[in-house]
Structure formats: C-alpha cells, structure tokens
Structure 1
Amino acid sequence: MNYHEITCESALHKLKRKIPFAWDLNLYRGCEHRCRYCFAIYSHRYLDSGDFFGDIFAKTNILEKLEKELASPNWKREIVSIGGVTDSYQPWERERKIMPEVLKLFIRYRTPVIISTKSDLILRDLELIDELSHVAMVNIAATITTVDEQLQAKLEPGAVSSKRRFAMLKAMRDTNACTGLHVMPILPYLTDNRNNMEGLFAGGRDAEVDYVLPGTLYLRGQTRNVFMDFIAHEFPELLPKYQKLYATGGAGKAYKDELYKMVHAVRDAYHLSGSYMAPLRKR
C-alpha cells in the first residue's frame, strides 16, 4: 500500500436526492478492501493515480472543514452518509483514528448519520456511536455478499470475514442505533443462489437487524474491466455467461425479476423487513 495525505475543499458533499440521505462524507480516497466489484474505482482519475486499491489518500483537514459546515447556521441536520464511496473503517483508519473525532462532531451538532462498512473496526467506536444514537438517528449498515468465506476472501480480499461482520451488527444492538444488512451486489452465478440467500438472511435474523436491502451487480466504466478480469482469472467458465448477461451495464429485466422474487421470498420467510426508511423514522 502507498499512503498519501491530501486536503479537501469541503467535507460534506450535497447529493441530488434527499432520501434516504442528502449528504455524503468520505474521509479517504481509495480503499484497501479491494472489492472486485467496487463501483468507485473511477474516482481515482481525479487524483492522478490509476491504483484505487493501492494508493490510499487521507484528507488531513477533514475535521476542520466538517466542523465549520456543521456549525453553520444554514446546517439543517439532514442525514449524512459516512463511507458511501470509500470505507471509513478500512485498515489505515486503525492508525489514523479520524472517525472518533468525526463522531464527536456529529454528537456536538446532533446530526443523524448512516455508516456503511465492511469492517468490524467500527466496534472500537461503539461508545461514541451509542452516545450519538441517543441524540440523533444512527444507522449502522454492513455490506455482506456471501456466507462462503472462501468466496468472500476472493471477492473482498482486504475486508474482514462475513462472520465478523455479522458479529459486528449483533454487537451494535447494545446501542440505540438501527442496523441493516446490505446484500449487495448480488453476483450472478456466484452469490445469487438460494442457499447463499438463506445463509445471509439467517445471519441477519440472528444479528437482529432492522432491515435487509438487496441490490444487483452493475458493471460500468473501469469497474467492468476490473471485474471481468477477475472472473476470467478466477472463474473462466463463467466469463461467457457474464459477457452475455452484461451486454450493457446491468443484467436484464428477466434475470432481475426472477432474482428478486426469490430474494424477497427468502427474506419474508425469515421475517425480516425490506423497508430502509421505517427503522430510520422510528428513531
């Protein structure tokens, strides 16, 4: 890994939509989790770097910028998504320790947050998350694609195991935060089988998550090349199938209709909510 420091002009980035969140906050550029399907690979083209997984940038002035924006009289305490592009709890965070200071600012300014992560490093900040969850809405979401740990290690070689992510979600029940299981992206021919969905939803039930949110794989831009190269190397027999199914950026409607029919049936069998907003509103 090559680690770098950069500055940013602003901490919060306003999104076109407002539901379920209106703002995005990313502490890092690039991500050590090295997920083969990562949609954000394109973002490094703005940094004069072609290695999204190897060149990791930390924003050294992010706390100064964030406090200025949260303290503004114009700030309306809208929901902020933390780590929507790059994981705020990727390995370098263990050394940088930016997130505890970020959480303290959100506590001070009583601002609701959604934190998405593939790491259990977030448990380091459990007490701060609990404190924030008593003054503002907090949603902690873990993205988990498969219960097959060998496959998971291939798909997400820099992330912690699925088992550890489920354990993290369960531990979050000791806070007032709501929790979500993000089953995304669902990978055709690899993770889209019923047995895997049964395992994921059983894990979600045991962790007592408030909701489950599934999503299909999209392959666009640089992500397409990276993922197809991965398939060609690790699962060459699937390459023709992927090339056919992904003639465009997304899988066809017929495939998705059948997939979601199965996924929703399994989710309902485990009595899990499919509503992203309901648990947020109740807090």
Structure 2
Amino acid sequence: MRNPGKHKGRGACSSPAPRFRSVRHEAVDDGWWQDEAPAPQTVVMPDPARTVISRNQSPDVPFDRSINPYRGCEHGCIYCFARPSHAYLDLSPGLDFETRLFAKLEAADRLKEELARPSYRCAPIVLGANTDAYQPVEKDYRISRGILEVLAECRHPVSILTKSGLILRDLDILVPMARRGLVNVMVSVTTLDSELKRRLEPRTPSGERRLAVVRRLNKAGVPTGVLLAPVIPAINDPELETIVAESAAAGAICVGSVILRLPHELSQLFREWLQAHYPDRAGRVMKILQSMRGGRDNDSDFGRRMRGQGPFAELIARRMQLARRRAGLYRREQVSMDCGQFRHPEVSDGQISLL
C-alpha cells in the first residue's frame, strides 16, 4: 500500500477536511485492500470570476491590491500560506490545493473592465500574491500573459512574485514596461539544496534555475530581487547566508525574508510533512517556531506575523542584516513605480458610435 505520508511529486501528505465542512470522513486501513492508490492527478476547472483585483488593508505588505490568475497551485509548496483559502471552495487545503485548480479564463477582460471605470485610481498591482501566476498550467492557459498585456496597454505599474522560469517567456512585455518604470519582480528562492527542494516544493525549478532567472531579468533591464520566504528553522535557515550571497552574485537588487506562517489547516499539514520527511528534527522545528509565535503554531497579529518575535526571530533578522551588508545589499534599492502614466482602457459596450 502507498505510504500515506508521501505522494510522489506532491507536497502535502494528506487531504484534511476543510474547516467549514460539517460532515467529516475518516479513512481506515483494515488491511483488506492491497492495491496502491493512484497518484493524484491535476484537474483544472474554470473560475467565472466577476472581478479579478483583490484588495487588502494589511499594514504588513507594501501593496493594497493584487491579482491571482489561479486558485490553488500545482507547485505543491508545503508551506504555502494560501492553502487554507481552498476551504472556501469546500476543498481540502492539502492535496486538493495542488491538484484541484481553478483558472480565471476571462481575467484579462474582467481586468480591463475594472481599469476602465472612471472611479478607478491607479496604484501598483501585485501579480501572484497568493498563488504563483507562472505555475505550470500557465504554459497552456496564458492567463498571466493576458493580464500583463492589459497592464502594458494601460501603462499600469505591476510587481510580480514568482518562483518559475516561465516568466522569461514574457520578456517582450516586461522589458518595455521596465523602461517606463512600470514593473519589478521578486523571485522566491527558498533553498539551493536539490533534495530539500524536491521535498519542500516538489514541482518548482531548482534554486540555481531561479537565480539564473534573476540574472536574466536584471540583465534585460527588469529590476528583480529575491525573496527568501519562508525561513524555516532547522530546515532551510542554515542556507540563509549562502542564498543572500548567491542572490547578490546573480544581480538581485534586494533580498527579503519572511518567517514561516502556519494559519488554520496549514499547521496540521506542515506537522505531517515534518514527520514524513524529517522525523528526527520535527519536535525541534516546531518548538522553535512556537517560540517565535508566542507559544502557538501561528500568530496572525499584524506587525508580528511576517517577522515573528523572540530570540530566534531576532537572530534571523540580525543574520539577514549582516548577510545583506556583506553582499553589498545593505540598503534596499527603491524601484520607481510610476502611476502617472496610467490611462483608462477603452472598453466596447456593444453600442455603435454615431461619430
């Protein structure tokens, strides 16, 4: 029987019921059925979204609006803070999150409609804040490219978060936008250890490949930094200094970091992952994480949720500061994002003009 703790090519070890479901089912192995369960396959379904710009008022992030072309993410990163959002679809934040995907097929049209409203006021949009806008299915669906085409047409500034090399496909759009000061990119680099990457974020490019993307984007004139997120104690935190140094060598304009967050079902999923892959240190990892979260698995309070608190969180912050200084990144480079060039798009309402 397949090991219930591991699924090849997937990050989650199980499919816990979403927190809003009133009826729960529990699988029990009675030893009778011996065939291996089939590997979970990716299914993509349409998401008929009426709007695509999401708003937030969080003081912890430097933006108030974002676009997520997809719900769920095939990358399978076990640490993804967006996993619990699948519960709103009555799906599991575990394996469902990385196999039951939803694509906003008409995102470009909906975006154009929103930007065309006379009341719309321009401010930088983040593309891929929740799930990666360049996850594998983007190669076929090209939704993110359609969104970029609209933003370029309107001269609307955009910041992109990704860990995928597929972003290089859209250099023909990004380079002209960068010349106008309308785009910057942050590439997530969590580890340079290929074995850890395979376990931690199974369907993502290698760390070396991501640094090559950073190098290529900056060489093309697209301002690009690196985000070490999340920092996981006793898992990837020993690589902190190396990742900062290698990022600087690849031309990154800045390197930021975020401490691991474990909201809602993610706490159970991460604990299962630790037991499946690193049982020898699972207790130590959770003990350190809880020391940064006031004794709990998660702390959602603004001002602390990204950085944590306590001695270990302070140590991580100090190490990042020193590593950036040694790499010549002691001052975060400010990238100009010009909102003054924005122009509302023209949207046809079906009426024939008399002029």
CA contact (8 A) 1:123 1:168 kept: yes
Equivalent of 1:35 in 67, 77, 88: 77
- How far did residue 281 of structure 1 move? 5.8
Q: Distance in 1 between matches of 2:262 and 2:88?
A: 20
Deviation digits for residues 215-242 of structure 1, max 9, x if unmatched?
1112221111111100011001112113
2:264 counterpart of 1:264: no
Residue in structure 1 matched with residue 274 of structure 2 by the alignment:
231
What is the letter of the counterpart of residue 283 of structure 2?
Answer: P
What is the letter of the counterpart of residue 78 of structure 2?
Answer: R
Structure 2 residue matching 1:52: 3-state secondary structure: helix
Residue in structure 1 matched with residue 112 of structure 2 by the alignment:
67
Residue in structure 2 matched with residue 48 of structure 1 by the alignment:
90
What is the letter of the counterpart of residue 162 of structure 2?
Answer: T
Worse-superposed segment, 89-98 or 233-242: 233-242
Distance 1:137 1:273, change over 3 A: farther
Q: Distance in 1 between matches of 2:196 and 2:336?
A: 32
Q: Distance in 1 between matches of 2:286 and 2:235?
A: 15
- How far did residue 155 of structure 1 move? 0.5
Structure 2 residue matching 1:4: 3-state secondary structure: strand
CA contact (8 A) 1:145 1:184 kept: yes
Residue in structure 2 matched with residue 197 of structure 1 by the alignment:
240
2:335 counterpart of 1:279: yes
- How far did residue 203 of structure 1 move? 1.6
Q: Give structure 2 stretches of 5+ with no counterpart.
A: 1-41, 300-307, 340-355
Structure 2 residue matching 1:141: 3-state secondary structure: strand
2:214 counterpart of 1:169: yes
Residue in structure 2 matched with residue 253 of structure 1 by the alignment:
310
Worse-superposed segment, 121-130 or 131-140: 131-140
Bigger proportion of residues as helix = 1
Runs of 4+ in 1 over 6 A off after TM superposition: none
Instruction: Let me know the Cα RMSD of the aligned residues.
Output: 1.9
Deviation digits for residues 144-189 of structure 1, max 9, x if unmatched?
1111121111110011111111001111013332111001111100
Q: Distance in 1 between matches of 2:237 and 2:86?
A: 30
Structure 2 residue matching 1:259: 3-state secondary structure: helix
- Which of these two proteins has the greater Rg computed from alpha carbons? 2
- Give the length in aligned residue pairs: 280
What is the letter of the counterpart of residue 156 of structure 2?
Answer: T
Q: Distance in 1 between matches of 2:191 and 2:121?
A: 38
What is the letter of the counterpart of residue 227 of structure 2?
Answer: H
Distance 1:252 1:100, change over 3 A: closer
- How far did residue 29 of structure 1 move? 0.3
Q: Give structure 1 stretches of 5+ with no counterpart.
A: none
CA contact (8 A) 2:184 2:222 kept: yes
What is the TM-score with the length of structure 1 in the denominator?
A: 0.93
CA contact (8 A) 2:53 2:111 kept: yes
Alignment of 1:5-154 (within 5 A): 5-17=46-58, 20-50=62-92, 51-154=96-199
Structure 2 residue matching 1:89: 3-state secondary structure: coil
Bigger proportion of residues as strand = 1
What is the letter of the counterpart of residue 212 of structure 2?
Answer: A
CA contact (8 A) 1:142 1:169 kept: yes
2:196 counterpart of 1:155: no
- How far did residue 253 of structure 1 move? 1.1
Q: Distance in 2 between matches of 1:274 and 1:230?
A: 36
- How far did residue 273 of structure 1 move? 4.1
- How far did residue 252 of structure 1 move? 4.6
What is the letter of the counterpart of residue 84 of structure 2?
Answer: Y
